[in-house]
Amino acid sequence: MAHLGNCLLSIKPQEKSEGLQLNFQQNVDDAITVLPKLATGLDVNVRFTGVSDFEYTPECSVFDLLGIPLYHGWLVDPQSPEAVRAVGKLSYNQLVEKIITCKHSSDTNLVTEGLIAEQFLETTAAQLTYHGLCELTAAAKEDELSVFFRNNHFSTMTKHKSHLYLLVTDQGFLHEEQVVWESLHNVDGDSCFCDSDFHLSHSLGKGPGAEGGSGSPEKQLQVDQDYLVALSLQQQQPQGALGLTDLELAQQLQQEEYQQQQAVQPVWTWTRALSPQGRGATSGRPAGERRQRPKHESDCILL
C-alpha cells in the first residue's frame, strides 16, 4: 500500500495548463483517499457497452493514474436487439433501478422491457459473455498486464500468443509451483492451468522435483499433445454424454471399456446338423433343447 502511495505521489502531470494541473491534483487526492480500500476491495460499476466501460468513480482514478487497464467481459450481445434496447448504455446499478421501475409500471411495453433486462442479468449471471470474451481478447494488448473484474473480484490478466490468462492467487495453490496462470477461453469456467512459461501444468498435488514438475521440452511437448488429443476426444463425445457429472461419465466410460473387452473374448458356437429336409427343419426335440455332440473340424469359432 505504501509503495502504491509513493507511485501516485511521484506521478507528474503531462499537461502544463493550470486547469489540467488542478484536475490532475484532484484525481491524485481522490486516489490517495481510496487507497485504504484496496485492502478489502473497490466499488466499480460496469457498463454493458464495452470491455473498458465503467461508471467513473474515485476508485477508477487509481487505475487511470497508474496506467493500468481495467477490463470486464460483461457485454450485451449485439445480435440480440431486444436486449440491446432494454440495456442501452446503462450501468449495472442503473439497470437494476430500471428493472424495478418497469416492473411496477402500468405500461406493458415498459414491463416487457424490464423483463428482458432482468432475463439478461439472469442468463449472464457469470458476468462474462462470449461476445464480451471476443471483445476482451481483441482489446487486450500482447503481453500487457491488466486487471480483469468479474463477480466482484479483481484478477491480474495478461495476453500471451493471442490467449488470455489470469494470475492464480488462490490460497489452495500456494505450494503448487507449476501452477501460475489459468486460461480464460470460455464463459463456463472450464479452464486449464499453466506454469510461468504458459505450458500446461499437470503436477497438481506433487511436490517440487516430483515427476512432471520440471520435465524436458520433449516431455512437455508430449503433455501438450496429450491435452490436445483429450480435447478432441471430448468434442467427439456423443450427445448423450453431455450434462453428465464426472462420476457418471467415468462410469459410462468404464462400462464401454468392459463391453469392448467382452466383445473380443472367444465365443464358441456349435453348428446344428441340418436335417434331410434342409435348413430350418425341426428334429422332433423339445424347443430349447440342444443336442450335444463331439467337436468336429467343421465347427466354427467366432473371435
pLDDT digits (tens, 9 = 90+) for 201-212: 875 554 444 444
pLDDT at residue 232 greater than cutoff 70:
no
Lowest mean per-residue pLDDT among 11-25, 29-43, 216-230, 246-260: 216-230
pLDDT, mean of residues 111-124: 95
Residue position matching grid coordinates 491435452: 227
* Cβ-contact 140, 157 below 8 angstroms: yes
pLDDT at residue 273 greater than cutoff 50:
no
Closest Cα partner for 114 from 93, 99, 136?
99
Q: What is the pLDDT of residue 43?
A: 84
Portion of the chain with pLDDT greater than 70, in percent: 67
Could you tell me the pLDDT band of residue 25, with boundaries at 50, 70 and 90?
confident
pLDDT, mean of residues 241-251: 58
pLDDT, mean of residues 242-267: 61
pLDDT at residue 189 greater than cutoff 50:
yes
Lowest mean per-residue pLDDT among 3-17, 37-51, 117-131, 244-258: 244-258
Q: What is the pLDDT of residue 212?
A: 42
* Cell numbers placing 219: 516431455
pLDDT at residue 270 greater than cutoff 50:
no
CA dist 121 and 115 (Å) reads: 10
pLDDT, mean of residues 113-142: 95
CA dist 122 and 159 (Å) reads: 29
Segment holding 236, helix H or strand E: none
* Cβ-contact 268, 301 below 8 angstroms: yes
Residue position matching grid coordinates 442479468: 121
Residue position matching grid coordinates 460483461: 74
Q: Which residue intervals of 186-301 are DSSP H helices?
A: 217-235, 246-263
Question: Measured on CA atoms in the order 137, 138, 143, 144, is the torsion positive or negative?
Answer: negative
Q: What is the pLDDT of residue 106?
A: 92
Over the chain, what is the mean pLDDT?
79
pLDDT, mean of residues 117-126: 95
pLDDT at residue 149 greater than cutoff 90:
yes
The model's pLDDT over 29-78, given as tens digits with 9 standing for 90+, comes to 888 988 888 888 788 999 999 999 999 888 888 898 999 999 999 999 99
* Cβ-contact 46, 92 below 8 angstroms: yes
